[in-house]
Structure 1
Amino acid sequence: MKNILKYTAIVLGLLQLSSCGEDFLNTEPITELTDESFYSTENQIYTALIGCYDGLQVATGTSGDSGVSFYAASEVMSDDCFGGVGNADGYNYQAIDEFDGSRAPSYSNLFNDTWVSYYGAIHRCNVLINRIDQVDWTGNEDTRNQYLGEARFIRAYLYFEMARLWGGIPLLTEPSSENLPRSSAEEVYAVIAEDLVYAANNMPDISYDTVPNGRVTRWAAKSLLARVYLFYTGYYGQSNLVGMVSQAQALEHLEDVIQGSGHSLVPEFKDLWPAASTTESGTTYAGEDNPEVVFSVKYTFTSDYNGNTDGNHWMVMFGLRNLDHFPYGRGWGITVNPKLYNLYDENDTRRDASVISIEEEEIDFGSDLLLDQREYTGYTNKKYTPMSAYDEEGNLNSAAELLGATNFQIGQFQDYTVIRYADVLLMAAELGSASAQAYFDQVRQRAYGDNFSPLSATPNNIMIERHKEFALEGIRYWDLLRQGIGVAANEIAENTTVLSGNVETNKQISASQIQETQGLSQIPNTQITLSDGVLTQNPGW
């Protein structure tokens, strides 16, 4: 009976949470209706907007031999994770981790599916943006501005991820098959800024919780605009965002979110994450649409091998290597650097909510599993790990498969939280808000509870707090880069011992290699070949 009750409490609860926003975001777009005559009614524009969200879902959820997700790359390139995976696998993730393409012969094409899926999603946005005024919006301008703001946000979000991965890229703002060279970073960021400024200024000024789950709000646009400002000005050493957004303006947008959005912190940090909030007795998970989520990419378990790509395909990379251990599900074993676990004070609740400590949690990761694991450290990702649950017979299995997923590899359903309200608070503190200390304290008070003690909100302390707060959320690497390539290289550089195949091996990451690549990733070789050399490669690759 205990196992049946556990199954009911956990798996059915997760099913309910994972279906939020399903009617909007999981409707397959009518992709064959893309000629000019299609964009003639509000309903058709709405269908096209669903297609933009679907493109975002596919692009960001991608994973495989030639499609590494932005999230997975962000974590593996940071100082928080090692490439890990199976001891007999190829060294693709080590090539990413060590900024060294020679580690894996196939690395030259590792991001090809990523590149293709991002441009596919951008094409959908471009078509909608350029054809939205084929509809007569007289008397319904607010709906037009909402739809256009959403599409422009999605395009900006996609270009921002691509620009951080690759720097200058071919820039398309309308449907085209032209063979374009790489635009400058400044040109790409100008489009990103224009899109986000439009969305921030023209979308409805309403509380976030009045918007259907999973939809972009003006608060998401304002928050992302500040993130773009911080990265661009930091990495490129500029005083403003391409002459369009100043520090004061970026801060003003964040203050608007704080004062007017309705967003707030979830009281307990662990309740932000399904695995961290789940125990034998049940779950206290706050849900995927809790008040702290400013924007997330929605996923469900319904992916299959027949064209449906609704799942979070990258999350399996972060699961315990080939091991189900309630509530954690099996995966492919990207590992966490012990330095992250040791960064936290023992009174900081974020440590045990962020990182799985195999020894502390008494997980039996035996010798047969160690033989199969590369770069074992004893630590893995708890925020984004597959889940397991008990079926009615008391057998432990993949929660995704118990919900009806084709398999655990493509059926992971946890949303990716892009921006949390805690990030809004810490960005505002960093940008010099008059309330910086109060914002900083809010984040730390939740983390420490009764053990909270004040700490001055200095720039250095804010960056340290960002590391602790957003570890394993795809943010740390970019926070390092925006402090300067030298800072990033020194923090990421590594010379330590790990277990590979249960044998002690040396793990090295060279600071000079990171500096040579300027922290950028390799442009897929297939794309350079298809462009007849119009595209050029990034340095160091």
Structure 2
Amino acid sequence: MKKLLFIFIAGGMLASCGKGFLETYPKDRKTIEEFYKTPTDAYQALVSAYSMLNMDGYGNILLTSEIASDDAFGGGGNADNGLQQWDKCQPMNDLNAAAWSKYYTAIYRCNILLQQIEKVDFKGDTASKSRYIAEAKFLRAYYYFDLVRMFGNVPLITQPLEPGNYYIPQAKPDSVYDQIASDLKAAANTLPAVKFSSIPSGQYGRATKWAAEALLGRVFLYYTGYYGKQSIGNTCTKGDAIAAIEDVIANSGHGLVPKFNNLFRASANTNEYAGQNNQEGVFTIQYTYLGLGDQNQNNGNRVQVMIGIRSQVLGPYYKGWGAQTVNPALYNAYAPGDTRRNASIISIEEEGYGSEYTLGDQAQYTGYFTKKYTPVSDKKPEDLGGNFQWDNYDNYVVIRFADVLLMGAELNLGTDNARAQSYYDQVRDRAFQDQLHRIALTGINQIWNERRYELALEGHRYWDLLRQGIPAAKLAIDNTSSNPAFNISFRSETKGLLAIPETQINLSNGTLTQNTGW
């Protein structure tokens, strides 16, 4: 993070975020002293901060947290390291190094933009300047939220580090969450309140007021649940969180896609897929095949190849590594008539692939694979000039409108039960395609269960368990089987936090200490 570190204005660093406004192809590299002069410089620096959203499958919180939850096992190949360690809560040297590096690189890019933007001559275009600042703050909050959920005790860095000041102690989580909430509130107050239908197609993927407000609601619910607090310090009260979520629901123009299965390419009928940037995506990470086989571009959705059916093509599904095999308990938990089950999970037997499927070296085979975001044969990367390992291109919806409705139900439960019930009903009505499956909302457990079915395998379950309390998380995650491969014991002493990479501890000159239990 030295001041002399180059700002790379080249494919993999600044152009890797994908579609629309993120397809920027600068041609040179400059030092910081030579950069940050024009609005184009500031824009490219902002794109570089966005581009880190795409980095590395092993550093993706979606994959890590789903495997760590009760809904999926590690899977992959029998010799694969890392996947089963996340699953079984086992130590492994530097297991989380990719995530740590990804997030602190991203935070550095946000910080350097926020520090240097005053040097840019915007020629009176204060709206663009304000928007870039707000987007950088949103991204910094997003990256820190992932970091602090994963590791708990992390250095809080809000300015680029200067020479001789590299050993930053871990901050208390309270301070990190306060910074996150402050950044999100500042972003929400500045970002454009443009309804979804009015967003130009080339602007999909950029943070909006609604994304900042929805993320604030998510941060509030996780922090207050996991740490047993009533508010995020003096920065965000429950009233603030409710107001933010209500604003998204009432004014954003986002809404539910009419049929659940049309949300995902792998489950939708060809002519009914709602599209990569549909009305339900409040914040969506953009991916593209335009890396065209160049691993260093980091343009593609690496999680897709990791969760695909291992080394074989079955029906519409394309090949992958077989990670994140689905727990049969999740498949069996859905009620009859719930359309979300078959849209979320591939059942090898029930979809008629039992005679075609070859086990090979698939680890922790359950008969079930993740359908959401699994690669599909139609318009596969190779057909578009890319490579299936690097260039899968389905966008990842970080915050769906259905999630916002369920957050609204949770926040209003006990104070405005009619409103909470209305939000809850909308999600269930869509799931069953009728109003005959409505259930009177009487407690928080119903909302947590609904979140499990609605958001299955999208990266939320593990965090929902942790905010219910460590005993509840252990009860859900522990698994006993006659097959030792499926014996899982959640280690409560870790409090659900991941191990800080050992290389980072070694480089910290004694500043960083390992999390308890690791």
Residue pair 2:153, 2:515 contacting (<8 A) in 1 also: no
- Aligned to 1:417, the other structure's residue is in SS state strand
Distance 1:205 1:138 in 2: 24
2:8 equivalent in structure 1: none
Distance 2:213 2:337 in 1: 33
Amino acid at match of 1:532: N
1:79 equivalent in structure 2: 70
1:529 to 506, 512, 515: 506
TM-score (norm 1): 0.87
Residue pair 1:319, 1:333 contacting (<8 A) in 2 also: yes
Residue pair 2:17, 2:23 contacting (<8 A) in 1 also: no
Note the residue ranges of structure 2 that are not aligned, 5 or more in a row.
Answer: 1-15
1:104 equivalent in structure 2: none
Amino acid at match of 1:474: G
Q: Deviations over 1:55-109 (max 9, x none)?
A: 2222xxx13xxx442111011001110011112x1342111111111xxxxx211
1:286 to 274, 281, 291: 274
Distance 2:356 2:516 in 1: 42
2:11 equivalent in structure 1: none
Q: Deviations over 1:114-150 (max 9, x none)?
A: 2112211111111111122223557533222211111
Shift of the 506–125 alpha-carbon distance from structure 1 to 2, 3 Å rule, reads closer
Distance 2:447 2:295 in 1: 46
Q: How much does 1:451 deviate?
A: 6.3
Amino acid at match of 1:227: R
2:290 to 273, 278, 302: 302
Shift of the 234–306 alpha-carbon distance from structure 1 to 2, 3 Å rule, reads closer
Residue pair 1:359, 1:378 contacting (<8 A) in 2 also: yes
Residue pair 2:46, 2:136 contacting (<8 A) in 1 also: yes
Say if 2:54 is the partner of 1:57.
yes
Shift of the 370–46 alpha-carbon distance from structure 1 to 2, 3 Å rule, reads same
1:252 equivalent in structure 2: 243
2:394 equivalent in structure 1: 414
Residue pair 1:109, 1:525 contacting (<8 A) in 2 also: yes
Paired residues for 1:106-255 under 5 Å: 107-136=92-121, 139-176=124-161, 178-211=166-199, 212-255=203-246
User: % of aligned pairs identical?
Assistant: 46
Residue pair 2:17, 2:287 contacting (<8 A) in 1 also: no
Paired residues for 1:474-485 under 5 Å: 474-485=459-470
1:370 equivalent in structure 2: 359
Q: How much does 1:305 deviate?
A: 3.9
Q: How much does 1:361 deviate?
A: 0.1
Distance 2:189 2:299 in 1: 31
- Aligned to 2:480, the other structure's residue is in SS state strand
Q: How much does 1:448 deviate?
A: 0.6
Residue pair 2:17, 2:53 contacting (<8 A) in 1 also: no
Q: How much does 1:291 deviate?
A: 0.4
Q: How much does 1:496 deviate?
A: 2.1
2:35 equivalent in structure 1: 38
- Aligned to 2:29, the other structure's residue is in SS state coil
Amino acid at match of 2:39: E
2:426 equivalent in structure 1: 442
Q: How much does 1:37 deviate?
A: 4.0
1:318 equivalent in structure 2: 307
Q: Deviations over 1:452-500 (max 9, x none)?
A: 3221223111111111000000011101111111111111111124xxx
Between 1:240-249 and 1:346-355, the stretch displaced more is 240-249
Distance 2:75 2:95 in 1: 16
Say if 2:330 is the partner of 1:349.
no
Distance 1:306 1:362 in 2: 35
Q: How much does 1:346 deviate?
A: 1.9
Distance 1:193 1:86 in 2: 40
Between 1:74-83 and 1:43-52, the stretch displaced more is 43-52
Q: How much does 1:209 deviate?
A: 3.4
Q: How much does 1:349 deviate?
A: 0.3
1:13 equivalent in structure 2: none
- Aligned to 2:49, the other structure's residue is in SS state helix
1:424 equivalent in structure 2: 404
Distance 2:458 2:63 in 1: 10
Note the residue ranges of structure 1 that are not aligned, 5 or more in a row.
Answer: 1-18, 102-106, 390-397, 498-503
1:510 to 489, 493, 510: 489
Distance 2:152 2:29 in 1: 32
- Aligned to 2:486, the other structure's residue is in SS state strand
Residue pair 2:122, 2:129 contacting (<8 A) in 1 also: yes
Distance 1:50 1:68 in 2: 19
Distance 2:185 2:247 in 1: 14
Shift of the 338–24 alpha-carbon distance from structure 1 to 2, 3 Å rule, reads same
1:360 equivalent in structure 2: 350
Distance 1:208 1:188 in 2: 31
Q: Deviations over 1:378-431 (max 9, x none)?
A: 101000211113xxxxxxxx81111211x2111111111100011111101100
The CA RMSD measured in Å over matched residues stands at 2.0
Residue pair 2:38, 2:122 contacting (<8 A) in 1 also: no
Distance 1:120 1:30 in 2: 21
Q: How much does 1:238 deviate?
A: 0.7
Residue pair 2:20, 2:204 contacting (<8 A) in 1 also: no
Q: How much does 1:352 deviate?
A: 0.4
Residue pair 1:322, 1:332 contacting (<8 A) in 2 also: yes
